Amino acid sequence: MFMGEASLRITEIFYSLQGEANTVGLPTTFVRLTGCPLRCTYCDSEYAFFGGEKLLLSDIADKVKELGGRYVCVTGGEPLAQPNCLLLLSMLCDAGSSVSL
């Protein structure tokens, strides 16, 4: 890793079927970021509030490519609580993925 490359704290990256929104039922790669300052009462992913592993954006993109699939869902925690999330979203779109947040 060189000092200038951006990173994000990641809880998990996995491949599954989307269960929500207009892509429900479609094979999707999920990128679950760590951390959330909101504490919504309906949250179903409190396990993603803390911990995680710091990964370079290039490593995240490589893992998404390895898992395959056209659709990628970046979720959390609260993904936008990490400023580099916007860079990841752009990187994934530029690679040809259909990305949801």
Per-residue confidence band for 86, with pLDDT thresholds at 50, 70 and 90: very high
What is the predicted pLDDT for the residue at 69? 85
Indicate the CATH number of 7-100 among 3.40.50.970, 3.40.980.10, 3.40.50.920, 3.20.20.70: 3.20.20.70
Residue 53 β-bridge partners? 10
Alpha carbon 31 to its chain's center? 3
What is the predicted pLDDT for the residue at 3? 52
**Percent of the chain at pLDDT exceeding 70:** 96
What is the predicted pLDDT for the residue at 99? 97
* pLDDT tens track for 39-70: 989 988 998 999 999 999 999 999 999 999 89
Q: Is 30 strand, coil or helix?
A: strand
What is the predicted pLDDT for the residue at 1? 46
- The rounded distance, in Å, linking the Cα atoms of 89 and 30 is 12
Domain definitions of the chain by residue range: 7-100
